[in-house]
Amino acid sequence: MPRYKILIKYDGSEFFGWQIQPEKRTVQGEIERVVNMMARSPKNWIRVQGSGRTDTGVHALAQVAHFDFPFDVPAEGLRKGLCSKLPFDITVTAAEQVADDFHAQYSAHDKTYWYRFSTAEFKDPFKYKYTGHWHRKLDFAKMEAAIGDYVGEHDWISFAASGFQAKTTIRTVYSAKIEAHPEDEEIWFEFSGSGFLYNQVRIMVGVLLEIGNGVRPVDDIQRLFTVRDRQEARFTAPASGLYLKSVDY
Amino acid sequence: MPRYKILIKYDGSEFFGWQIQPEKRTVQGEIERVVNMMARSPKNWIRVQGSGRTDTGVHALAQVAHFDFPFDVPAEGLRKGLCSKLPFDITVTAAEQVADDFHAQYSAHDKTYWYRFSTAEFKDPFKYKYTGHWHRKLDFAKMEAAIGDYVGEHDWISFAASGFQAKTTIRTVYSAKIEAHPEDEEIWFEFSGSGFLYNQVRIMVGVLLEIGNGVRPVDDIQRLFTVRDRQEARFTAPASGLYLKSVDY
């Protein structure tokens, strides 16, 4: 059976995250339902494998998934069929046939997350589902000075939420960027890495905001790598600002 | 009692429009609830008067309303109090004390509506609540050639939804603009006028789209003014793309 790779864009606001769960509306659940309907497989045996989970409220600009389809159809036709049957908060932006050994999770080389943060005094009605928000004094220069400390291979245990089940907490961050967008009262963060632990990106953003606010010193990221203590960084930036931007293979 | 004028921004997606209704979540209902709470008026006697209604799903960048408040408080403090108590999909962007004879509806001189239209092949998950969408061939030049016919004093009865209760259907449109935003696959419309009948802006957009699609000739707007028939223009563009942009006094 041919294997297809798809790129998926979704507004996570009304989903209980990516991963399929009984009785909950999830992105994976919606896509599996539609793929199985198109495959006319009443027993819903086709599984749609994503590059990884996203949490409740987290968005994706280009989540990647693969599945095996019983018919050898043109990828673009399959994409249009999926788009026309999926709910309005999910769309498939690209589709291609891939080799049988392509795996959306295990073949992934690196992932990029975007975090969109609003510094406005009050939440904007058109942004509250699409940004994190914290109206406190933030020193951009301090965050800019600190963010480079994230780059490299580190043990991220101080940045992991409890409840994670990874074999190792060693990960490599390839790049970490911060951008000011004063005209929109926003600050954007972007992180690329080999992989991220559960809630890691949101805790990384939380630590930077506390550095910007003066709660932590500018060199505190280095200390957090040394102390290896999950209790040291407990401020997790809201899910609403987080976007899975791309997955590279 | 001092009278206050406020500017209100709201995401209309989760409201049954502006006007207060029993058992329904409306923008006016939410604001009246908070104003009365802040005024400590348990009988909810304070009425919040808007510049006019907006329908279910219609947004506002700057709806205007007035109300009389029992305490003479600084407008900016009142604004912040409202913002902090209103739900996240409504915010108050400005507040000022005004003369007792200021009336948000009757003092209004003109209103501007913005219509945001997506021409993308499929609805974008981040836009479907915030744009109208119609994936058909649209000749921008034809719409551009036609839109000027809206300007001026006309009898708009062909553009009125049934069920309206206006004394007269004569209104003046001061300006009518169309803008292409090809990088976002969007077309924007903007109309300023002395006032608009129920659904008038959405029908005006619908007629333009039908002209762009070739269903109607380019000079059909002139004919619609002449025939004076509510059955002639029945395609009403979706509420999701419509924004009350400003009200001038």
- Which string of DSSP letters, residue by residue, matches chain B? --EEEEEEEE-GGGSS-SS--TTS--HHHHHHHHHHHHTT-TT-----EESS---TT-EEEEEEEEEE-SS---HHHHHHHHHHHS-TTEEEEEEEEE-TT--TTTT--EEEEEEEEE--SS--TTTTTTSEE--S---HHHHHHHHGGG-EEEE-GGGPPTT---S--EEEEEEEEEEEEGGGTEEEEEEEES---TTHHHHHHHHHHHHHTTSS-TTHHHHHHHH--TTS------GGGEEEEEEE-
> Does residue B163 register a pLDDT over 70?
no
A113 is in an annotated binding site: yes
Mean pLDDT score across all residues of chain A = 95
Same domain, A126 and A90: no
Among A34, A88, A92, A114, which would you mutate to test the B interface (most chain B Cβ atoms within 10 Å of its Cβ)? A88
Q: Do A91 and B125 touch (CB under 8 A)?
A: yes
Same domain, A62 and A148: no
What backbone phi and psi angles, to 5 degrees, belong to B157? -60, -30
**Angle ∠(A126,A130,A133) on CA atoms, nearest 5:** 90
Higher pLDDT, residue B123 or A112:
A112
Distance CA B22, CA A191 (A): 48
What backbone phi and psi angles, to 5 degrees, belong to B80? -65, -40
CB-CB neighbors (< 8 A) of A130 in chain B: 126
Among A90, A126, A245, which would you mutate to test the B interface (most chain B Cβ atoms within 10 Å of its Cβ)? A126
pLDDT in tens, A225-246: 999 998 999 899 999 999 999 9
Same domain, B144 and B182: yes
> Which segment of A9-13, A164-168, B100-104, B240-244 scores lowest on mean pLDDT?
A164-168
Looking at the domain assignment, is residue B105 inside a domain? no
Average pLDDT over residues B164-188: 92
CB-CB neighbors (< 8 A) of A126 in chain B: 9, 11, 59, 130
Tokens in use for A224? 């957090």
- Kindly give the pairing relationship between strand A186-193 and strand B59-68: unpaired
Residue B192 confidence class, pLDDT cut points 50, 70, 90 = very high
Q: What is the pLDDT of residue A242?
A: 98
> Which segment of A37-46, A88-97, B212-221 scores lowest on mean pLDDT?
A37-46
- Three-state DSSP at A49 gives strand
Residue with tokens 């009125």: B160
Distance CA B19, CA B50 (A): 9
Q: For this structure, is B149 an active site residue?
A: no
Smallest CA-to-CA distance from A54 within A43, A62, A46 is with A62
Distance CA B67, CA A60 (A): 42
Q: Do A123 and B91 touch (CB under 8 A)?
A: yes
Same domain, B59 and B90: yes
Indicate the residue among A97, A122, A156 that finishes a domain: A97
Domain at A21, CATH number: 3.30.70.580
Looking at the domain assignment, is residue A138 inside a domain? yes
Domain at A117, CATH number: 3.30.70.660
**Angle ∠(A141,A147,A153) on CA atoms, nearest 5:** 165
Residue A10 confidence class, pLDDT cut points 50, 70, 90 = very high
Same domain, A136 and A191: yes
Same domain, A87 and A207: no
pLDDT in tens, A21-59: 999 999 999 999 999 999 987 778 899 999 999 999 999
Same domain, A69 and A126: no
Q: What is the pLDDT of residue B209?
A: 97
Looking at the domain assignment, is residue B203 inside a domain? yes
> Does residue B142 register a pLDDT over 90?
yes
Inform me whether the C-beta atom of residue A6 falls under 8 Å from chain B C-beta atoms: no
Same domain, A115 and A204: yes
Query: Taking CB atoms and an 8 Å cut-off, how many pairs form between chains A and B?
Result: 44
Residue B164 confidence class, pLDDT cut points 50, 70, 90 = low
Range of the structural domain that residue B64 is part of: 3-97
In this complex, the residue of A59, A84, A126 whose CB is nearest that of residue B11 is: A126
Same domain, A71 and A162: no
Question: Which residues in B39-48 are b (16+ Cβ under 10 Å) and which e?
Answer: beeeeeebeb
Catalytic residue among B55, B89, B101, B220: B55
Whether the model clears a pTM of 0.90, i.e. scores above it, the answer is yes
Which residues are CB-contacts of B49 (< 8 A; sequence separation ≥ 6)? Answer: B65, B66, B67, B103, B104, B105
ipTM comes to 0.89
Average pLDDT over residues B132-160: 95
Give the CA distances from residue B25 to residues B62, B64, B241, in Å, rounded to whole numbers and listed in that order.
Answer: 19, 19, 20
Same domain, A89 and A120: no
Same domain, A133 and A40: no
Q: Which helix (H) or strand (E) holds A10?
A: strand A3-10
Q: What is the pLDDT of residue B247?
A: 98
Q: Is B60 exposed, middle or buried (0-12, 13-18, 19+ CB in 10 A)?
A: buried
Average pLDDT over residues B216-236: 94
pLDDT in tens, B9-40: 999 999 999 999 999 999 999 999 999 999 98
Looking at the domain assignment, is residue A79 inside a domain? yes
Q: What is the pLDDT of residue A162?
A: 73
Looking at the domain assignment, is residue A105 inside a domain? no
Tokens in use for A45? 């045996």
Q: What is the pLDDT of residue A106?
A: 95
Share of chain B above pLDDT 70, in %: 99
* Residues facing B176 on adjacent strands: B191
Distance CA A89, CA B4 (A): 39
Mean pLDDT score across all residues of chain B = 95
Looking at the domain assignment, is residue B15 inside a domain? yes
Q: Do A125 and B83 touch (CB under 8 A)?
A: no
> Does residue A163 register a pLDDT over 80?
no
A144 alpha carbon, distance to own chain's centre: 22
Indicate the residue among B34, B65, B97 that finishes a domain: B97
Tokens in use for B93? 């962007």
Share of chain A above pLDDT 70, in %: 99
Indicate the residue among A97, A127, A146 that finishes a domain: A97
Q: What is the pLDDT of residue A228?
A: 93
Give the CA distances from residue A227 to residues A162, A230, B57, in Å, rounded to whole numbers and listed in that order.
Answer: 16, 9, 51
Q: How many CB atoms lie within 10 A of CB B101?
A: 8
Same domain, B77 and B164: no
Distance CA A5, CA A125 (A): 35
Distance CA B85, CA A226 (A): 42
- Three-state DSSP at A24 gives coil
Inform me whether the C-beta atom of residue B18 falls under 8 Å from chain A C-beta atoms: no
Q: What is the pLDDT of residue A164?
A: 64
The total number of structural domains in chain A stands at 2
pLDDT in tens, A164-215: 677 899 999 999 999 999 999 999 999 999 999 989 999 999 999 999 999 9
